[in-house]
Structure 1
Amino acid sequence: MTDVSLSQNAARQIKAIMAKQGVDRFMRVAVEGGGCSGFQYKFDFADAPNDDDIVIERDGAKVVIDEMSLEFLSGSEIDYTQELIGSAFKITNPNATAGCGCGTSFSV
């Protein structure tokens, strides 16, 4: 069991993307080294979970996170925001001690 959650807006957007593509896939969320602050979030798609993936599901939307990334994402919420400057998936991460202006890079 994981304590990473998926907001209703994120679930709705993932389902909309999958419907547009005409396939039932998973959104992959990962943490990689790099970015302005040391770590960055990566969003991708996967046909199936890997053996070490955790699967989060809400309202039919499915997200996979690998074990290594899960350590950095514990307690986080994956959201989808629509703002004047654009729309994007966003992670509210209580483990991040600093972030950059773009919102995709953080440090712990």
Structure 2
Amino acid sequence: MAITVTEAAAARARSFLDNRGSGLGLRLGVKTTGCSGLAYVLEFVDELQTGDSVFEEHGIKVIVDGKSLAYLDGTQLDFAKEGLNEGFQFNNPNVNGECGCGESFTV
């Protein structure tokens, strides 16, 4: 099981962590919500929890809890700027469908 991080995503995450002044890395997870059932959660991590898996690439640690890892295995975390919009993107090979607004997904 693995999560990968592009250089662009790592640079943006490092910028956020540097501005924050602390943190081990970013937690990537899923929560039940939205039209399709699941949505991504991305937040700062200050300490590891029991059952966490840690993936490190380009100097950034991505921490995933055991429950979420089943839905996220193989996901690539990317960061893109398109015109005035910018944000993290989740390239998840497990996704079977997404809602029309792109906020939630099914596996």
Normalised by the size of structure 2, how large is the TM-score? 0.90
Which amino acid letter does the alignment assign opposite residue 5 of structure 2? L
| Residues 102 and 6 of structure 1: CA distance in aligned 2, closer, same or farther (over 3 Å) | farther
Which amino acid letter does the alignment assign opposite residue 76 of structure 2? E
Alignment match, 1:54: 53
1:100 positional shift = 2.6
Alignment match, 1:29: 28
How many residues are aligned here? Answer: 107
Q: Which stretches of structure 1, 4 residues or longer, exceed 6 Å deviation after superposition?
A: none
Unaligned runs of 5+ in 2: none
- Give the Cα separation in 1 of the matches to 2:88 and 2:71: 17
Q: Deviations over 1:15-69 (max 9, x none)?
A: 0111111224321111111112111001111101212111111222111000110
- Give the Cα separation in 2 of the matches to 1:80 and 1:52: 27
The percentage of aligned residue pairs carrying the same residue is 34
1:17 aligns with 2:23: no
- Determine if contact 2:80/2:86 at 8 Å carries over to the other structure: yes
- Give the Cα separation in 1 of the matches to 2:70 and 2:64: 10
Unaligned runs of 5+ in 1: none
The CA RMSD measured in Å over matched residues stands at: 1.4
